[in-house]
Amino acid sequence: MAGCGIGFVGIRTERLDDMVELFRDVIGVPVVRQHDDLVGFALADGTVLELYGPGEKFHAFFTTGPVVGLRVDDFEATRAAMIAAGVDFIGEIQHAAGVKWQHFYCPDGTIAEIIGPAVVHAGSAS
């Protein structure tokens, strides 16, 4: 798929405070959201970095190391091709701010996701 790039990295950690200190205080990455056991950062190129502590339940399936989100030009076409190839997706398609994403299992069990623009059809609201 043309135009693929990194759009998201998610890391589950038992040492959330130490990881936040590293990224925020040492490396200087700005925190853009924080609640419960989730801290989100915005990298300079627009990539989202999220850290999940042990109490964060929504991303409990992030167990294989960093979860990388691949930015694609056409979310629907990429997802359809992946389904046709037998890729197993996790949960429902998520969406916010004109973007869609969905997690999936790689052949070796590694979890990744695809991220792409949400298509707005004529006459519909976003």
Average pLDDT, the chain: 89
- pLDDT greater at residue 49 or residue 119: 49
Are 38 and 53 within 8 A, CB to CB? yes
pLDDT tens-digit series, residues 9-19: 999 999 999 99
Burial label for 53, CB within 10 Å (0-12, 13-18, 19+), is: middle
* Percent of the residues in the chain that have a pLDDT greater than 90, as a whole number: 64
Decide if pLDDT at 87 tops 70. yes
Per-residue b or e along 13-51, where b marks 16 or more CB atoms closer than 10 Å to that residue's CB: beebeebbeebbeeeebeeeeeeebbbbbeeeeebbbbb
CATH number of 5-117: 3.10.180.10
